Chains A and B, each alone.
Chain A
Amino acid sequence: MMESFFFLLFAAMAAGGAIMMIASRNPVSSLMYLVLAFFALSGIFVLLDAHFLAAVQVIVYAGAIMVLFLFVIMLLNLGHREELDMRGHLARMVALVLGSALFAAVAALVVRGDEASLASEGSRMAVDAMVRSRGAVGALAEPLFTSYLVPFELTSLLLLVAIVGAIVLARRRAP
């Protein structure tokens, strides 16, 4: 009961934040609504027993990436824009129709596949036992550092390339 109350609260916050992000004029308030949506999503991660990823969501997404966005908005001085940069009515209609169609398609899949559940109760029990015996971090770290070790190391390479690329791209060209 408590769980579904909090789920509804966080889901409403996430959905409302997402819609307000699209609808608001000011890029800064748009960003703040997105941060609200991310915080609500991390609450939903907690409800789904992904505690470590909820913490990472707050630290990395709502913290680092959103600060980066805010920094760029401030740097480019876009914070006090008053006119709405929406496209015209035709594009809005197209976006509404396409968005509703996408949502309806996926939601129909979820609702229809509900009774034929995704996996057996057995594998769910196995995941639960794994989390309970190793803790939220250990259960995630074990596959990350054994079977996914090479992708993990490649991620560090990707981040290094991204840092170098960002510096090269944003550097002011010498006249």
Chain B
Amino acid sequence: MNLDIESASLILSAFLFAVGTAGVLVRRNAIIVFMCVELMLNAVNLSLIVFSRSLGLEAQVLVFFVMAVAAAEAAVGLAIIIAIFRHFEGVDVDRFNILRW
């Protein structure tokens, strides 16, 4: 196998990030858009862990912080979704234009 596990993990990470991006672009349900963002964060975590093997364990500390920020972001984001659901009676992102100038 000429492609070792680390390069294959980097390619998998790129694939997961691309799938997450496509999901953000294609879905209209705000919760699924959020789930795609979480997937993109996890793809970045995977590549950070690959780099931590050769560049030092500080990369894993960074993964730790990414997880903490992702937890905070999920809590606040889901609270915003609940508030928006109450206001618009739905979570379709095409109907949210309250931030438009």
- Residue contact A100 to B18, C-beta cutoff 8 Å: yes
A123 interface hit (Cβ, 8 Å): yes
What are 22 A-B residue pairs whose CB atoms fall within 8 Å in the complex? A4-B5, A18-B16, A21-B35, A22-B36, A27-B31, A41-B42, A41-B46, A49-B53, A50-B52, A65-B71, A68-B78, A75-B82, A78-B31, A95-B26, A98-B22, A102-B18, A106-B18, A118-B51, A155-B68, A158-B72, A169-B79, A170-B83
Proximity string of chain B (40-59) to chain A, C-beta cutoff 8 Å, 1 when within and 0 when not: 00100110011111111110
- Residue contact B82 to A72, C-beta cutoff 8 Å: yes
Q: How far is the CA of A98 from the CA of B22 in the complex (A)?
A: 7
Number of A-B contacts (CB under 8 A): 237
B-side binding surface: helix, strand, loop or mixed? helix
Q: Which residue of B lies closest to A128 (CB)?
A: B53
- Residue contact A38 to B42, C-beta cutoff 8 Å: yes
Q: How far is the CA of A87 from the CA of B27 in the complex (A)?
A: 6
Residues of B in contact with A (beta carbons under 8 Å apart): 1, 3, 5-23, 25-29, 31-32, 34-36, 38-39, 42, 45-46, 49-58, 60-61, 63-65, 67-76, 78-83, 85-86, 91-92
Q: Which 4 A-B pairs have the closest CB atoms?
A: A162-B72, A106-B14, A99-B22, A119-B54
Give the A interface residue count (CB, 8 A). Answer: 87
Residues of A in contact with B (beta carbons under 8 Å apart): 3-4, 7, 11, 14-15, 18-19, 21-22, 27, 30-31, 34, 37-38, 41, 44-45, 47-50, 52-53, 56-57, 60-61, 64-65, 68-69, 72-73, 75-76, 78, 81, 85-87, 91-92, 94-96, 98-100, 102-103, 106-107, 110-111, 114, 117-119, 123-124, 126-127, 130-131, 139-140, 142-144, 147-148, 151, 155, 158-159, 161-163, 165-170, 172
